Amino acid sequence: MKQFLQHLKTLGTLTLKDKGSLFWVFFYPLILITLMALTFGGIQSSMEPVKVAVEKGHPWKVAFFQMDILDPVEMDEQSALESLQERVVWGVFLSDKSLVVAESSAQSSVLFEIASELQRTEKAMRLGVRPDYSKDFVRTADQETDMMLSILSVTVGMFSLYAYFAGIGMVDHIQANLSPLAARLAVTPLSRGSYLLAGTAINTFLSLAESVVLLLYLKWVWRVNFLVDAPRSLFLLLVAGLLGLTVGLFIGASNRWPMKAKIPLGIVLMLVLGAFGGMMSTELRVFFDRHL
């Protein structure tokens, strides 16, 4: 017990003095979470209706006024073109079925697609095709997932497995055939069990502390609360930290792969788990939620 406490004190002191480790454990996750929140914050925000001028007498006027994505205003040609020059509207639908836009933008692309689709529909109707507009050919999913919350939750989950790298480092210090330092420590009266137990306690605590800092940061700064059920959330994060550390110890003990291969393997593992959790596509997460 005395040796365990000594190892606990020594490893804790060394960890706190290692500024590089503290950066990667605490500051890097905060930086990455901030960048992701800024990048994906408005990814699911609805698009405002596109304000567009429609010349009087346009044969498709009724269709334009029925589209929720458009905010049409009926004008004569001269007033419509003046409004376009003053950037009051994004485009002008002239009565000859042509479209005039002032610049290339997302709004002008929407207007172009609408005009093209209406032209194709008109040509099809000339050929005798009568589409049934009462049918809905797009299936609505029974379950929806907020992409922003999904990405942030998966990112927090990935960082909770960060102890994987600590597990690799622990084995690298005590297994003689892995590093010169471990070979030197092998001839000292070092209790491997005590060292591993102390390292497990320190790194599990750091993993949990890192996750708590991330969750509090998301709650107070970005108003994203993952601590609605705090006891269960903290328990899951604790289990995830232990899991990451265990996997790191297991892979780190292999002498077939060098350290340069073990670290990328951990990164790939976290990315694969993140993909299953919905980081690459929320549809994949919904699929697993339904069938597993």
The secondary structure of the chain in percent helix, strand, coil, rounded to multiples of 5, reads 65, 5, 30
Residues 6+ apart with CB under 8 A from 262: 168, 251, 252, 254
- More reliable by pLDDT, 270 or 144: 270
pLDDT at 43 over 60: no
Domain boundaries of the chain, sorted by first residue? 2-41+146-291, 50-126
pLDDT at 283 over 70: no
pLDDT at 151 over 80: no
Q: Between the CA of residue 154 and those of 1, 119, 263, what are the distances in Å? A: 38, 44, 20
Is the whole model's pTM more than 0.75, yes or no? no
Cβ(208)–Cβ(245) under 8 Å?
no
Residue that is written with structure tokens 């979470």 in the block? 33
Instruction: List the single range of 101-110, 117-126, 145-154 with lowest mean pLDDT.
Output: 145-154
- More reliable by pLDDT, 141 or 28: 28
Average pLDDT over residues 192-219: 91
Average pLDDT over residues 226-233: 87
How much is the pLDDT for 168?
92
pLDDT at 179 over 60: yes
pLDDT at 259 over 90: no
Average pLDDT over residues 91-108: 88
pLDDT at 53 over 70: yes
